[in-house]
């Protein structure tokens, strides 16, 4: 007979599942684990027995029925399976064994609308469903991820102690992640990078936007690298030093830090910088594309985020690009000799573009909360992104501060701190985009972020002409600058050219 010993259960022992299970065990919880293919579970348990100080708190099961029975009620069962059909299949397999009040927690990168659907279905059956964004990759899962949970408050209260324990901790004063966790010895104290996000799909939505921002953050860094390489003639090591330096100040972030590391890394096969041996085609699993598609659907101009997705798509057309490079010509590239000046300019372009990218991500969330009836706390979201997740950065504290100053902030760019940063950096930003264009170097993220900044700060745009065109060919009507909003007019463009109010 199976005894009820586990505080929590986890299904799905791929990399993220294994690491999250160990993190939970390291915090003193007994965890039951299950994997569809039992071999992987056995291997994991064998590995734990040999190498993991918390191994006695990880218990493997081959039967789903025994696994469920072993968990204390109300049961908390974390799913870390492939997002999509596998999640539904796992839930269906679990259902016969669950009892009223049990809680399923989906820690995958689920599409938020799937989470809304699953939460509704399970709550109708008497179970709770929490969709929790989990960010931080393998190391984050093991030693402290950023966790973005949503569902009913009641269910969250059950999960909260464990989620707070296993989340990354940041220093309450500096906001910096507290380092130093090792297997069996998690960090003590600090502010956990988790907070209740809202009902049903809110957590997965916020995680998706995190990933959209991750895409643009990465693309901006790549453009900075590409400009330094091609316009300043810098080698990988030199660029690594620049990124390391940038990591000391305002731009300090996990992605800048790993970029410095990557650029200094040698290819074990050739001894040359590894970055030069890596094929220039980027993969993507879909969360960036979901973010961009949702921005289009909600009518929010997250153009820089979308550009980052398109930049990956364009990179993937490797063979076509190679062929086109023989046919389509641009200007010759002219190396710039004033390195120091341009490095500073590229830094400013990167920082200003980053502000725009985050402004877009937060605007998107602000619109989505209306659509889905969530009440998102943007200061808190920025706070739980300060540590554990891929976009963790010093910058996030500034966003938290901005929302503390004005919880109803319409756009991050309007906050005093960010406005001043944009004003300070914009001349350099413009020069970098212009220089790139003159030399035929693509900087879609720098350029689209700049267009967003310029568009957003324009009291007037050429959409008057556009609206006239719409009215001309489709009688779509227009509003007038000299009449109240909401009054619509149509001009008989091809007939008597009179205007009528519609």
Q: Which stretch binds ligand 6PG (CB under 6 A): 279-287, 363-371, 414-422, 429-437?
A: 279-287
**Residue 434 CB partners (closer than 8 Å, separation 6+):** none
Structure tokens given for 146: 């950023």
How many Å apart are CA 354 and CA 30, to the nearest integer? 42
**Residue 106 CB partners (closer than 8 Å, separation 6+):** 79, 87, 115, 118, 129, 130, 131, 132, 204
Q: Map tokens 């796992």 to a residue.
A: 90
Least distance (Å) from ligand 6PG to the CB of residue 57?
25
Residue in 69, 76, 207, 398 annotated catalytic: 207
185 is catalytic: no
Interface with ligand 6PG (CB under 6 A), residue total 13
Least distance (Å) from ligand 6PG to the CB of residue 285?
4
Structure tokens given for 39: 């071999």
Strands 103-106, 31-34: pairing kind: unpaired
Q: Which stretch binds ligand 6PG (CB under 6 A): 81-89, 133-141, 148-156, 191-199?
A: 133-141
Structure tokens given for 374: 């969530």
Q: Which of 30, 132, 158, 211 binds ligand 6PG (CB under 6 A)?
A: 211
Q: Residue count of the chain, please give it.
A: 502
Q: Which of 189, 268, 283, 332 binds ligand 6PG (CB under 6 A)?
A: 283
- Would you count residue 25 as binding ligand 6PG (CB under 6 A)? no
- Would you count residue 439 as binding ligand 6PG (CB under 6 A)? no
- Would you count residue 214 as binding ligand 6PG (CB under 6 A)? yes
Binding to ligand 6PG (CB under 6 A) within 101-130 occurs at 109
Which of 119, 208, 131, 200 lies closest to 372 in space, CA to CA? 200
Binding to ligand 6PG (CB under 6 A) within 390-409 occurs at 390
In whole angstroms, what separates CA 169 from the centre of its chain?
19
Residue least distant from ligand 6PG (Cβ): 135
Contact (Cβ atoms closer than 8 angstroms) between residue 134 and residue 207: yes
Prior bond of 74 cis (ω within 30°)? yes
Q: Which stretch binds ligand 6PG (CB under 6 A): 75-83, 271-279, 282-290, 413-421?
A: 282-290
How many Å apart are CA 165 and CA 162, to the nearest integer? 5
- Choose between 48 and 148: whose C-beta lies nearer to ligand 6PG: 148
Strand order in the sheet with 103-106: 58-61, 31-34, 8-11, 76-79, 103-106, 128-135, 146-150
How many Å apart are CA 149 and CA 198, to the nearest integer? 8
- Residue 106 has φ and ψ, to the nearest 5°, of -95, 110
DSSP tag of 391 = T
Structure tokens given for 290: 């979901």
Q: Which of 100, 120, 185, 285 binds ligand 6PG (CB under 6 A)?
A: 285
Least distance (Å) from ligand 6PG to the CB of residue 220?
15
Q: Which of 224, 227, 304, 389 binds ligand 6PG (CB under 6 A)?
A: 389
- Choose between 285 and 341: whose C-beta lies nearer to ligand 6PG: 285
- Would you count residue 284 as binding ligand 6PG (CB under 6 A)? yes
How many Å apart are CA 285 and CA 84, to the nearest integer? 12
Coil vs helix vs strand at 289 = helix
Least distance (Å) from ligand 6PG to the CB of residue 80?
11
Least distance (Å) from ligand 6PG to the CB of residue 258?
12
- Would you count residue 135 as binding ligand 6PG (CB under 6 A)? yes
Neighbouring-strand partners of residue 9: 32, 77
Least distance (Å) from ligand 6PG to the CB of residue 217?
11
How many Å apart are CA 415 and CA 420, to the nearest integer? 8
- Would you count residue 315 as binding ligand 6PG (CB under 6 A)? no
- Choose between 285 and 424: whose C-beta lies nearer to ligand 6PG: 285
Q: Which of 60, 107, 136, 447 binds ligand 6PG (CB under 6 A)?
A: 136
Residue in 52, 214, 223, 307 annotated catalytic: 214
- Would you count residue 287 as binding ligand 6PG (CB under 6 A)? yes
370 is catalytic: no
The residues annotated with a catalytic role in the active site are 207, 214
Residues that bind ligand 6PG (CB under 6 A): 109, 135-137, 211, 214, 283-285, 287-288, 389-390
């Amino acid at each position: 007979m199976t005894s009820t010993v586990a505080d929590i259960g986890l299904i799905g022992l791929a990399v993220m599942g294994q690491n999250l299970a160990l993190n939970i065990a390291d915090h003193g919880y007994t965890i039951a684990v299950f994997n569809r293919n039992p071999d992987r579970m056995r291997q994991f348990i064998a590995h734990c027995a040999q190498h993991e100080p918390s191994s006695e708190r990880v218990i493997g099961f081959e039967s789903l029925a025994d696994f469920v029975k072993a968990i204390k009620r109300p049961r908390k069962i974390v799913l870390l399976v492939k997002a999509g059909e596998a999640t539904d299949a796992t839930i269906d397999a679990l259902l016969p064994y669950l009892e009223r009040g049990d809680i399923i927690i989906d820690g995958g990168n689920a599409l938020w609308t799937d989470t809304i659907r699953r939460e509704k279905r399970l709550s109708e059956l008497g179970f709770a469903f929490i969709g929790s964004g989990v960010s931080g990759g393998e190391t984050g899962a093991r030693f402290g991820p950023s966790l973005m949970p949503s569902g009913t408050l009641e269910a969250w209260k059950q999960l909260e102690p464990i989620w707070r324990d296993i989340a990354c901790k940041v220093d309450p004063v500096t906001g910096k992640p507290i380092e130093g966790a090792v297997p069996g010895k998690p960090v003590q104290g600090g502010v956990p990078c988790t907070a209740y996000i809202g009902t049903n799909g809110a957590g997965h939505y916020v995680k998706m936007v995190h990933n959209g921002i991750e895409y643009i953050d990465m693309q901006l860094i790549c453009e900075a690298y590409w400009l330094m390489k091609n316009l300043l003639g810098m080698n990988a090591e030199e660029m690594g030093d620049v990124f390391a330096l940038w990591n000391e100040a305002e731009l300090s972030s996990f992605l800048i830090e790993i970029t410095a590391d990557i650029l200094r890394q040698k290819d074990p096969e050739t001894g040359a910088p590894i970055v030069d041996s890596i094929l220039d085609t980027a993969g993507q699993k879909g969360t960036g594309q979901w973010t961009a598609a949702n921005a289009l659907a909600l009518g929010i101009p997250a153009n820089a985020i979308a550009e980052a997705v398109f930049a990956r798509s364009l990179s993937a057309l490797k063979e076509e690009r190679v062929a086109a490079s023989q046919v389509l010509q641009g200007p010759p590239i002219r190396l710039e000799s004033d390195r120091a000046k341009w490095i500073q300019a590229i830094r400013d372009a990167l920082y200003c573009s980053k502000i725009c990218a985050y402004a877009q991500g937060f605007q998107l969330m602000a619109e989505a909360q209306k659509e889905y009836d969530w009440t998102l706390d943007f200061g808190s979201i920025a706070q739980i992104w300060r540590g554990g997740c891929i976009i963790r950065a010093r910058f996030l504290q500034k966003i938290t501060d901005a929302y503390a100053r004005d919880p109803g902030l319409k756009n991050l760019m309007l906050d005093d701190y960010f406005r001043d940063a944009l004003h300070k950096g914009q001349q350099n930003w413009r020069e970098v985009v212009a220089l790139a264009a003159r030399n035929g170097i693509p900087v879609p993220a720098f350029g689209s972020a700049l267009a967003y900044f310029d568009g957003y700060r324009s009291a007037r745009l050429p959409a008057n002409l556009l609206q006239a065109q719409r009215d001309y060919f489709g009688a779509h009507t227009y509003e007038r600058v000299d009449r109240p909003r909401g009054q619509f007019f149509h001009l008989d463009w091809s007939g008597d050219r009179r205007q009528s109010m519609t």
